[in-house]
Structure 1
Amino acid sequence: MHRTTRTTAVLLFVAWAVDYLDRQVVNLALPAIGETFGLTHGERGLVLSAFFVAYALTQIPGGLLAGRFGGVRMICLALVLWSLFTGLTALAWSFTALVALRFLFGVAQGLFPAAAIDTLSRRSLPSQRLTANGWIQSSNAVGGLLAAVLGGLLLARWDWRAMFVAVSALGLLVVVAIRRWLPAPLPEEETGPPLKPGKGAAAALLKSPAVLGFAVLFFAYDVVVWGLGSWSASYLTEELGLPMARVGLVAVAPTVLAAVAAVVGGRLSDRFEGRPRRIVVPAMSVAAVLIALLPFTGTVGFVVVATLISGAVGLCYMPCFSVPLRSLPPALTGTASGIVLFGGQLAGIVVPVLFGHMVDAFSYRAAFWSLILGPVLAVAVVLRVPQTSASFLAGLRNAVTSTGTPTAVPTAAPTDKEDDTDASAAPRPS
């Protein structure tokens, strides 16, 4: 990778790790928070979903703001705001106040993802972009691991309020690092198609069936991620009797394998020049089988099966973004990724609260089995979305023409060869 790309990836890796740490510590604190306020499982799910409502609603505006004001400015603003609301969570005095603070925290973090992708796209070559993003997104697993270990230790020594205060300062340190060491962007002729997006570019992306298809694919991916991530700690403590201090330790293997899988998925996506179904179909098929087995395991078995699920699903992260990020100029990648991220975060709104209600109404077993819908949907969708840049841009040009907005995509097809089995590009019967 280019030196500029490597430096940018390292800084964004750290920023994403802190993002995920601040987001995930609430999952470990959820049993203690529930006891403090006397919450049912459904109400605990609402605490988690409040974040995702705000986070999802901010994805597309975050992408537009990154394109308007620059990804770096929006990254720094997001870091400062979410660190503030992380600390203020410790002051929650009621269930309503807690939900409100988690909502504001979600707004702040929602500004970050598209801005981060915008920042990297301006500092990376298209042929290396997914590999770099894979390394960066592996930080999610690292952040989850840090949240599990650090959060578990802090909860064992202090209480959940002190934990939120302790982790809130990390984001401010990342702002200082970014302002000091982030390199300047690469020349525009190196980072993507040499064009200035037209006035209707964002509207065309919002209406593009291809971009919306990748958003649904990311929704399916996040059904599994947030279902397991939000409730595994509660299941291990309530059903299997594992002490809270040990819950953080059993998360080590799943998070490490998820980190490795994200890197491998990004590298394979670059090598396959997109073609997400080559990764998603086999990986999600394995995940579906493993989810069916998960409720029948004890503590050790749960850790082993959950680890394998994390690895299988982790391979599918970058394929959800692969074709749009390889195809579009940097000025449009923030908006496109914001749309895809919005689709994924809808799962964060729906899954935690539904999972909690299913536990209350039925059992943890039924709740875990419901997560199989994620892999099933992912396989169904990935067979329909464009598999290469050529088919993606062809469909986007058609969308631009049909809506009457100015053309904002290249008129020449990219150089990568079309997949002969690309269903989205195959002729349809009249």
Structure 2
Amino acid sequence: MATVTPHPETHLDPRRWWALGALVASMLVLGFDMTILNVALPTMAGELGASTGEQQWMADAYVVVFAALMLPAGLLGDRFGRRRMLMVGLGVFLAGSLVGALAGDVTWVVVARAVMGVGGALVMPLALSVLPSLFPPTERTKAVGVISAASALGMPLGPIIGGWLLDHFWWGSVFLINVPMAAIGIAACLFLLPETRDPASPKVDAVSTALTAAGLGALIYAIIEAPNRGWGDPLVLALIGGSVLLLAALVVRERRSVRPMLDMSLLAHRGFLLNAVAATLVMFVLSGLMFVLPPYLQAVLGNDAFGTGIRMLPMMGGLLVAARAAQPVVERFGSRGVVCAGLVVLAFAALLGSRTTVESGYGFTALWLSIAGLGFGFAVVPAMDGALGSLPADRAGSGSGLLMTLRQVGGAIGIALLGSLLAGAFRDRLDVTGLPEGAADTARESVVAAHLVGDRAGAADLVTSADAAYVHGMGLVLLVCGIASLVAALLAGAFLPNTGSRDVTGSVEGKPAPDMAPAPADGRQ
């Protein structure tokens, strides 16, 4: 994405730091909204009667739309004005949040999350792309670091804020909290941000955007429906086949385009491709883990929503520590060694977590969560920096867009695939002997639903079985995560280029780096 050269007046304009504050508020909203829903899902599942599949859609609707629209959203800002489109994005995000706060059923929550995904897709790339017009090169690295820190800080704040709101208000408050933040961001952008644009940027390709959204949507829908229908079901097979055809058509169209929206030729750079794969896999694991963990902490261990948010902090703490420590470690050992080590640590944490039992207690969980956070941080930051560092300086913008899109796709597939694995394992292990057929079907939908049925029927055996079935399913998810991380570590060690010292949180040959904070999944981002 092209940027605008800062004017000399920018050096002396004191409003630029206030403008940065407006962007920080926008990124904070996106940051904690990526994780705030995770801690709310068990509560929403109980009050809305949402199955595991419906919970996956509540999380994935945001991520799929976000991933599909991020690149065209950045191009819209280039052509029609970045400040204008940033304000539009915040306005759309605000509207989606209002719909979510007022929603009365699962369908409207999914719609609200999709609308919020449209707004988030506009805000994320444009918040970064306006920095060159605000700050001279001497201050730009610091500004990018502040923006990245805001997004990273939002992730651990999400579960805590969400938990506190759920303990004091209704579940819709986790959406309503976005409204004043987005409104402040809109006002600040209106009065503090200069307008910039680049009319020479590629046009938004509506066909490619539609192919991306339809292909990803079909794939996610197939994965979520597979545990209920079976992987051999005609609808599931048709969706997978249709997804492959749509995404293949997207690749062919973009490769033939003179000025592609999604520059596939970047994948020909070995360093970019392998580092992007590593970063995407980390997001796959992180998003899946953030989806399966809150019901364990809330339903199985019996914590309230706020307590659940607090108990997710060890992973976020480890992640932030590793992200801060990554730069000197890369300078000492090189990026390949750090990425491999991070993936191995992540694999160890996941395999350790797969040994969790119903009797393990929170102390054991906190241990492997802390280790997992360290692995995430040491793997994703050097991988992202290495991906962009392997590209020529004039392609850093398009590389950043493609890399962020791949991360979001990895997060969406992680929620869908690992959530479906959990749902299938839970359903197979749950003992519903003696329950009426309707109650048994309800209990199979999720561990929260099984607890509600068990409490109403006075069936303590059902609650015990639900806890054991959920922990078994979570163990399978963590085992898959551990094996995937080990395989990725071996591939990274064998094929990843070993880059030397670079500014991990700063710039790529004078270009601003992308947001380095991992964006889970919705819930993450």
Deviation at 1:268, TM superposition (A): 6.0
Deviation at 1:349, TM superposition (A): 1.8
Partners of 1:294 and 1:302 within 8 A in 2: yes
Distance 2:163 2:55 in 1: 19
Answering whether residue 349 of structure 2 is matched by residue 290 of structure 1, we say: yes
Q: 2:405 aligns with which of 332, 335, 342?
A: 342
Larger Rg: 2
The CA deviation string for residues 16-65 of structure 1, in whole angstroms up to 9 with x for no partner, is 22112223222121112112232222221122111111111112223333
Stretch moving more, 155-164 or 307-316: 307-316
The CA deviation string for residues 346-380 of structure 1, in whole angstroms up to 9 with x for no partner, is 12221222222222222111112222255335432
Answering whether residue 131 of structure 2 is matched by residue 105 of structure 1, we say: no
Q: Residue type matched to 1:108 in 2?
A: G
TM-score, structure 2 length as denominator?
0.63
Residues 283 and 120 (structure 1), Cα distance of their counterparts in 2 relative to 1, 3 Å cut? farther
Deviation at 1:171, TM superposition (A): 1.6
Q: Residue type matched to 1:288 in 2?
A: A
The match for 1:370 is 480
Q: Please state whether the residue corresponding to 2:371 is helix, strand or coil.
A: helix
Partners of 2:39 and 2:159 within 8 A in 1: yes
Partners of 2:339 and 2:380 within 8 A in 1: no
Deviation at 1:262, TM superposition (A): 2.7
Residues 217 and 335 (structure 1), Cα distance of their counterparts in 2 relative to 1, 3 Å cut? same
Deviation at 1:382, TM superposition (A): 7.4
Q: How does 1:403-414 map to 2 (within 5 A)?
A: none
Q: How does 1:149-188 map to 2 (within 5 A)?
A: 149-181=160-192
Partners of 1:87 and 1:168 within 8 A in 2: yes
Partners of 1:115 and 1:334 within 8 A in 2: no
Q: Residue type matched to 1:346 in 2?
A: V
Residues 116 and 46 (structure 1), Cα distance of their counterparts in 2 relative to 1, 3 Å cut? same
Structure 1: gaps of 5 or more residues: 186-195, 390-413, 416-430
Deviation at 1:89, TM superposition (A): 0.6
Distance 1:382 1:73 in 2: 45
Residues 180 and 40 (structure 1), Cα distance of their counterparts in 2 relative to 1, 3 Å cut? same
TM-score, structure 1 length as denominator?
0.75
Distance 1:76 1:106 in 2: 15
Partners of 1:130 and 1:266 within 8 A in 2: no
Deviation at 1:305, TM superposition (A): 1.8
Residues 13 and 337 (structure 1), Cα distance of their counterparts in 2 relative to 1, 3 Å cut? same
Deviation at 1:344, TM superposition (A): 1.0
Identity value in percent:
23
Q: How does 1:23-422 map to 2 (within 5 A)?
A: 23-120=34-131, 133=144, 135-181=146-192, 200=258, 202=260, 205-209=263-267, 210=269, 211-265=272-326, 276-295=335-354, 296=356, 297-323=360-386, 325-326=388-389, 332-362=395-425, 363-376=473-486, 378-379=488-489, 380-381=491-492, 384=495
Distance 2:147 2:285 in 1: 20
Partners of 1:141 and 1:258 within 8 A in 2: no
Structure 2: gaps of 5 or more residues: 1-10, 203-256, 426-472, 501-508, 511-525
Distance 1:340 1:310 in 2: 21
Aligned residues: 379
Residues 340 and 39 (structure 1), Cα distance of their counterparts in 2 relative to 1, 3 Å cut? same
Partners of 2:28 and 2:151 within 8 A in 1: yes
Distance 1:322 1:130 in 2: 14
Q: Over the residues paired in the alignment, what is the CA RMSD in angstroms?
A: 3.7
Residues 172 and 157 (structure 1), Cα distance of their counterparts in 2 relative to 1, 3 Å cut? same
Partners of 2:341 and 2:378 within 8 A in 1: no
Deviation at 1:246, TM superposition (A): 0.8
Partners of 2:164 and 2:305 within 8 A in 1: no
Distance 1:157 1:384 in 2: 51
Residues 288 and 184 (structure 1), Cα distance of their counterparts in 2 relative to 1, 3 Å cut? same
Q: Please state whether the residue corresponding to 2:130 is helix, strand or coil.
A: helix
Deviation at 1:229, TM superposition (A): 1.9
Residues 35 and 138 (structure 1), Cα distance of their counterparts in 2 relative to 1, 3 Å cut? same
